[in-house]
Amino acid sequence: MDRDEILKKAQAGAIGMDEREQQVLGLSFGIGGILMVLLCVILAIIRLVNGQDAYDYTAIVFLYLAGVELHLYWRTRRRGLALLAAACGLVFAGNLAMFLLG
């Protein structure tokens, strides 16, 4: 494979962004995820203090965590990440079922 062909493949996979822009995009998603989890935790605490359940907020957080771990596994192929993604997925499914069944 020659140099120009490698460059074309790299540019095709970059969706119009250079490496720095891709890193900034990834970081912004990480910060957004942290803020989303923080909001869910605050809202869940408010619900628990008021004697209600928080299965819906817990399901949101664990689905987010499962997605993050699954993406990391897909990129790195580390088996531990796949197990963690599966565990988070199971916790998500349990909380979703508890929320829906009331």
Asked if residue 32 lies in contact with residue 68, where contact means CB atoms within 8 angstroms, the answer is no
pTM above 0.75, yes or no: yes
Tell me which residue has tokens 């140099």.
Answer: 3
Q: What is the pLDDT of residues 47-87, one digit of tens each?
A: 999 999 999 999 999 999 999 999 999 999 999 999 999 99
Asked if residue 47 lies in contact with residue 57, where contact means CB atoms within 8 angstroms, the answer is yes
